[in-house]
């Protein structure tokens, strides 16, 4: 037998259809096959579309063509009692439904049994729903057939029998409801989940009869409709293959997957261990004013590479960095850098009261707590909270305090270091400016590239 090893380097355009062939995964519930033709944006609802079981509404059976809904924006909110994000959104949906009742009708939809939903509505660990007055379509099979999905919340916007939009929940706001009621046309991305995505299979499965790949690497644009973030280093003994994959990752997340272990010694968030030498930060981080579902398809990627099974994780990570640098025309790597930072230190006059040994662990330092305090917690939690604030340099805990402490920090703005020092001084603590050396992920751009192009390197075994 004659053996050849040929390295093939090629560029090709990839469409979403490439990824839809072998999809097979589930999130939360099973999609049932029916004869119903799914609807999309611009389609009209059947005039006889009924919801057969509804709780919390004036009638048990509801027709979406009922005159009560005429001219109103109907928002179908598909949810699950097992979904924390769905549950936490219910009070806001109820507030919108009450405030905009002349133009909005929210209907929560689930395929779960009526008894389970009624019990959930009475008591759940996340939100008090006793005063929520949203109608709930239970044991649904019809609406989920017209609007199939895997990922919840799943929002369907309807007005006068026409589907206006199918979105993620981030688009649900009073302002957008008013726009929909006023008849404005939207160019929002259509939420379309991949039914049955199988994260266990390589994205780039070669057809039967093709050469068997010993190793390859590939980078594609965002895959719409994948039900969750997927990544891993997986050794497949049957195929004698190490597979490295990351589906729908930002550039920063791809690099972090490859070099994150080298940044752990910093004890800092990734953003504080990063130096971006770029003129376009939006390529790497979502701007605050942009919808995530608008930003992600243009700035997230799917990476996959395979190696002989004896390849070490270290070797695979080195190849991953080289691939991302090459495919995205970037130059990134770990460098030792001296960085300006803030140092949380203990003064000679330190007078920290001992924590109550049996007291509850409490850390209330985020913006949602007007009065900031720590009780029976490590002093490092203060440094961690400061490191989450935008605009501050890295904050390093150099107090050397290992016992739990209790601090009352009043109602200060933690980003105001002078105010912070004023409340820390009685405890003998201070935040000072300084410099320290860290492992930093440094990313610079080589030039621009067309992100609709996919580059694949393959090592093929004939």
**Average pLDDT for 241-270:** 94
In this model, does residue 345 exceed pLDDT 90?
Answer: yes
- Whole-number pLDDT of residue 461: 31
In this model, does residue 276 exceed pLDDT 60?
Answer: yes
Task: Please indicate whether residue 37 or residue 452 has the higher confidence score (pLDDT).
Answer: 37
Out of 32-36, 65-69, 151-155, 458-462, the most confident range is: 151-155
**Average pLDDT for 192-212:** 66
Task: Please indicate whether residue 142 or residue 125 has the higher confidence score (pLDDT).
Answer: 142
Give the model's confidence band at 358: pLDDT under 50 very low, under 70 low, under 90 confident, else very high.
Answer: confident
Domains and CATH numbers, the chain: 50-181 (3.40.30.10), 212-329+446-461 (no CATH), 339-441 (no CATH)
Secondary structure, 3-state, the chain: CCCCEEEEEEEEECCCHHHHCCCCCCECECCCCCCCCCCCCCCECCCCCEECCEECCCCCCEECCCHHHCCCEEEEEECCCCCHHHHHHHHHHHHHHHHCCCCEEEEEECCCCHHHHHHHHHCCCCCCCCCCCCCEECCCCCHHHHCCCCCCCEEEEEECCEEEEEECHHHCCHHHHHHHHCCCCCCCCCCCCCCCCCCCCCCCCCCCCCCEEEEEEEEEECCCCCCCCEEEEEEECCCCEEEEEEEEEEHHHHHHHHHHHHHHHHCCCHHHHEEEECCCHHHCCCCCCCCHHHHHHHHEEEEEEEEECCCCHHHHHHHHHHHHHHHCCEEEEEEEEEEEEEEEEECCCCCCCECCCCCCCEEECCCCCCCCEEEEECCHHHHHHHHCCCCCCCEEECCCCCCCEEEECCCCCCCCHHHHHHHHHHHCEEEEEEEEEEEEEEEEECCCCCCCEEEEEEEEEC
Strand-by-strand arrangement of the 104-109 sheet: 54-55, 136-137, 104-109, 73-78, 154-159, 162-167
Least confident of 146-150, 200-204, 303-307: 200-204
Task: Please indicate whether residue 457 or residue 397 has the higher confidence score (pLDDT).
Answer: 397
- Whole-number pLDDT of residue 8: 31
Q: What rounded mean pLDDT belongs to the chain? A: 85
pLDDT tens column, 403-448: 888 899 988 999 999 999 999 999 999 999 999 999 999 999 986 4
- Whole-number pLDDT of residue 212: 57
CA separation for the pair 197, 190 (Å, rounded): 18
pTM: 0.72
pLDDT tens column, 76-97: 999 999 999 999 999 999 999 9
- Whole-number pLDDT of residue 348: 85
- Whole-number pLDDT of residue 23: 33
- Whole-number pLDDT of residue 35: 77
**Average pLDDT for 308-313:** 93
**Average pLDDT for 108-116:** 96
Least confident of 198-202, 333-337, 428-432, 454-458: 454-458
In this model, does residue 205 exceed pLDDT 80?
Answer: no
Query: What percentage of the chain carries pLDDT values higher than 70?
Result: 86
């Amino acid at each position: 037998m004659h053996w050849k090893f040929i390295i093939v380097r090629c560029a090709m355009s990839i469409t979403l259809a490439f990824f839809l062939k072998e999809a097979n995964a589930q999130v939360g519930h099973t999609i049932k096959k029916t004869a119903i033709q799914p609807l999309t944006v611009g389609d009209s609802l059947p005039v006889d579309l009924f919801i057969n079981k509804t709780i919390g509404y004036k009638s048990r059976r509801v027709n979406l063509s009922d005159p009560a809904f005429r001219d109103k924006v109907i928002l179908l909110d598909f949810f699950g009692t097992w979904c924390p994000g769905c549950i936490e959104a219910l009070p806001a949906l109820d507030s919108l439904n009450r405030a905009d009742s002349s133009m909005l009708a929210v209907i929560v939809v689930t395929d779960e049994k009526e008894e389970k939903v009624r019990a959930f509505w009475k008591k759940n660990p996340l939100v008090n729903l006793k005063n929520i007055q949203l109608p709930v379509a239970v044991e649904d099979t019809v609406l989920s057939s017209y609007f199939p999905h895997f990922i919840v919340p799943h929002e369907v916007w309807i007005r006068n029998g026409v589907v206006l939009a199918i979105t993620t929940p981030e688009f649900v706001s009073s302002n957008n409801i008013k726009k929909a009621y006023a008849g404005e046309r939207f160019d929002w991305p259509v939420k379309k989940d991949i039914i049955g995505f199988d994260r266990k299979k390589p994205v780039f499965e070669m057809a039967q009869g093709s050469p068997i790949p010993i190793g390859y690497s590939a980078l594609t644009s965002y895959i719409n409709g994948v039900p969750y973030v997927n990544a891993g280093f997986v050794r497949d003994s049957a195929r004698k293959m190490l597979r490295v994959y990351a589906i729908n990752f930002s550039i920063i997340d791809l690099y972090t997957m490859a070099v994150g272990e080298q940044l752990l010694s910093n004890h800092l968030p990734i953003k504080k261990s990063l130096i971006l030498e770029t003129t376009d930060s939006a390529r790497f981080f979502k701007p605050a004013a942009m919808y995530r579902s608008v930003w992600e398809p243009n700035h997230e990627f799917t990476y996959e590479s395979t190696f002989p099974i004896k390849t070490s994780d270290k070797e695979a990570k080195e190849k991953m960095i080289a691939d991302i640098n090459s495919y995205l025309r970037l130059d990134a790597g770990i460098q030792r850098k001296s960085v300006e930072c803030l140092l949380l230190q203990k003064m000679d006059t330190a007078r920290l009261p001992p924590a109550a040994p049996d007291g509850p662990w409490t850390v209330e330092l985020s913006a949602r707590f007007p009065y900031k305090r720590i009780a029976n917690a490590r002093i490092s939690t203060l440094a961690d909270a400061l490191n989450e604030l935008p605009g501050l340099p890295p904050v390093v805990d150099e107090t050397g305090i290992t016992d739990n402490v209790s601090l009352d920090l009043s109602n200060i703005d933690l980003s105001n270091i002078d105010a912070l020092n004023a409340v820390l001084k009685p405890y003998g603590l201070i935040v000072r400016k300084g410099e320290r050396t860290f492992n930093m992920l440094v990313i610079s751009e080589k030039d621009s590239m067309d992100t609709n192009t996919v580059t694949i390197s393959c090592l093929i075994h004939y």
